[in-house]
Chains A and B, each alone.
Chain A
């Protein structure tokens, strides 16, 4: 009796494994490349048609959770990657990625954007909008700002890094002032923007978001804005932290030549031109003209803060822990 059980179990397991392998074998031909990206990677569905036409290679997109989860996955599978090319490792994570040697060669810069304080023009009314980090601790803006927790949100981390870059070792003092000015902290960007921000029914007219949120507000406005009217939200242009995203060939891919072609396509003009209005980032390729919505509504950020990636990697944990001790008490 026992033997039949084992035999049955084994054959079930074998049948199962066979089923699984037969389904996955299709990706192992050179006609298909797999691009790994974070889950908000949403270029138009036709974005890779030109590449497929040119090279005969079909691009499969594997979504790997948020950017942090994606890098965690890529680091863990370094050398035996799940795909051939990775999109969207940003400067707060790139150091971890290169330390675990996920790339076959140096990654290419593909896009950039800024995390800045945004304001709701209608809600501010007569109040002059803020411009700098120092403005935010003024009593004029008491109880107005909502930020994201840097321990759980990449936007929140970027804003913390902006203050670290701006104030150096005295950044904890700046945050003490923000706390005294009644800053609100939430866990994620969508919660800050869609529940705390005044534009969507909250009571905070200042929110940490992106420099490209105003053009998004215009494109997605319902009802559409009248022609020539200004964007409903604005950006405090001296509160920004620069986020740069990279793409690269993953070490261990069997098709490094073709994967390199794909990276070139990602950095090339055809694909780059699609970025502003689908991912709401700036193309890294300087030859690409910006769409009208960006020209009209995305304020140019001239002075954004930045910190070298290896510094970020080294201090990330201690900074966020220090921050929690001050702000979350």
Chain B
């Protein structure tokens, strides 16, 4: 009888996946189908693969992504373990610091890396791997962290008491508990590296092109929309399939939950050195950026900052910083307001149904898996008829941002949502709390870490997004990344220093948002 009642309750929240499904359909699936039916020339479905540039791009995408992912996960897992289990000075700041690169305009990151790396490493695979670690380590920290955070100390202690060596404890206790989250992070990281665009164009250099770059080249430089769309669809299907298989292969696991489980153990010397090195790895490029914003050849100057802040008028440069900050902020807020409830609701609805969830996560990755050029073009020809001509609607931008942030919200929510013990729900129900009351008073407080991670990710994704925004934007509502790109398009000291200053402001703003959210969610 009771079992039957609970079964009903779980069923009754499944409709919560609908908003996520609508979002993905509206921003990706429908537009892509429309584009495919109108531009694909059937012959291209086979012939596009015969171009040597396409094959080269496929091979390169794959192997550089494998390499980058391996290193990112390795370093990320070590960092995450210590960040989630030990309390040490600068821990929170560090977590925020690793999230920041996510929003960086690639031109600025490229410039920073080029400034820091020795000449011999420019345009090498090593530079690409380093930049990918820099960008993606936060995925590991933020998806695996909450999971390990919730392991009860006693569990580890018992393992040790029963004679397990630290290594054995890792292998048999800690890793199994983080496995699903690590798989998630691996899949996302691999995907981010596989479709990497800006990093590769700047640090990779000519000849090293990913599939996304080849898609851009076909669509824009060669005018071969049909071939580009075939490639875009193939890449999308490949990524969705990978996600599907990946999530399927995981087994269900033991669920333990304990909030605020951070112990007060101190770090030993080796991890301390590791963190020091990692912190340097993250701060040095940012310091290089700061220096670049104030340095013109052999003198120091604040002109770039003055122009950026609007204190000094500069002939030839015309933008309104406050308007840009407002626009960026507005889009980021709207995108988060859409992505967060949508993503958490979808995760929540399917958290007890692994296979449905894995199918859904393969599905929500779609907007992110399609090259921004193709998505822009697809949206353009889909919503072009009255009364649904929204091509000129500014809402399109935050909507696309929300769709892009959705998989990140869902991935970071999953471990937390799964960590809520079913007993607790049952107990609440036994005490006659209705589904809403149960959600508000029992589950919502426990979801806090998921909400804060999702919010941080969706704000960051939106603040830094360039590809889709540059395609759909209006002059009077340019975002900060768009302004940075237009500054770096002009020759001379002042556009360059102003662009560097703007990049730094974007970084600091994002870092502050992320830190604030983290603080709030822990108090």
Question: Which A residues are closer than 8 A to B by beta carbons?
Answer: 1, 4-5, 8-9, 12-13, 16-17, 19-21, 23-25, 27, 34, 37, 39-45, 60-66, 68-69, 71-73, 75-77, 80, 82-83, 96, 149, 151-152, 157, 185-191, 193-195, 199-201, 203, 209-210, 213, 216-217, 219-223, 277-278, 280, 316-317, 320-321, 324, 327-329
Contacts and interface: CB of A to CB of B under 8 A. Distances in A.
Contacts of B396: 20
Nearest to A190: B488
B401 to A, nearest CB: 15
A221 B316 CA distance: 12
A203 B118 CA distance: 13
Nearest to A118: B491
A271 to B, nearest CB: 14
B491 A186 contact: no
Contact of A61 (B205, B394, B475, B491): B475
| Highest count of chain B CB atoms <10 Å: which of A83, A209, A220, A221 | A220
B362 interface: no
B205 A63 contact: no
B389 interface: yes
B18 A222 contact: no
A42 B470 contact: no
B97 to A, nearest CB: 25
Query: Which of A34, A157, A222, A278 neighbours the largest number of chain B CB atoms within 10 Å of its CB?
Result: A222
A280 B110 CA distance: 25
B213 to A, nearest CB: 7
Contacts of A96: 223
B253 interface: no
A68 B221 CA distance: 6
B376 interface: yes
B111 A194 contact: yes
In the A-B complex, the 8 residue pairs with the closest CB atoms? A220-B492, A61-B475, A68-B220, A24-B393, A220-B494, A222-B493, A328-B207, A149-B206
Contact of B474 (A44, A62, A278, A329): A62
A83 B391 CA distance: 10
A222 B315 contact: no
A276 to B, nearest CB: 9
A119 to B, nearest CB: 13
Contact of A187 (B201, B390, B489): B201
A290 B315 CA distance: 15
A37 B478 CA distance: 13
Interface of B: 11-12, 15, 18-19, 22, 26, 39, 53, 107, 110-111, 114-115, 119, 201-202, 204-207, 213, 216-217, 219-225, 296-297, 299, 301, 303-304, 314-320, 373, 376-377, 380-381, 383-385, 387-396, 470-471, 473-476, 478, 482, 485-486, 488-497
A63 B482 contact: yes
Contacts of A329: 207
Contacts of B383: 20
Contacts of A21: 387-390
A19 B394 CA distance: 12
A220 B388 contact: no
A240 to B, nearest CB: 16
B223 A72 contact: yes
14 contacts: A20-B383, A20-B396, A24-B393, A41-B475, A43-B318, A65-B376, A77-B380, A96-B223, A187-B204, A194-B496, A219-B316, A277-B316, A320-B221, A320-B222
Nearest to B492: A220
Given A65-B470, A201-B115, A328-B206, A12 B225 contact: no
B392 A34 contact: yes
Given A24-B393, A190-B107, A195-B114, A280 B490 contact: yes
A316 B222 contact: yes
Nearest to A44: B318
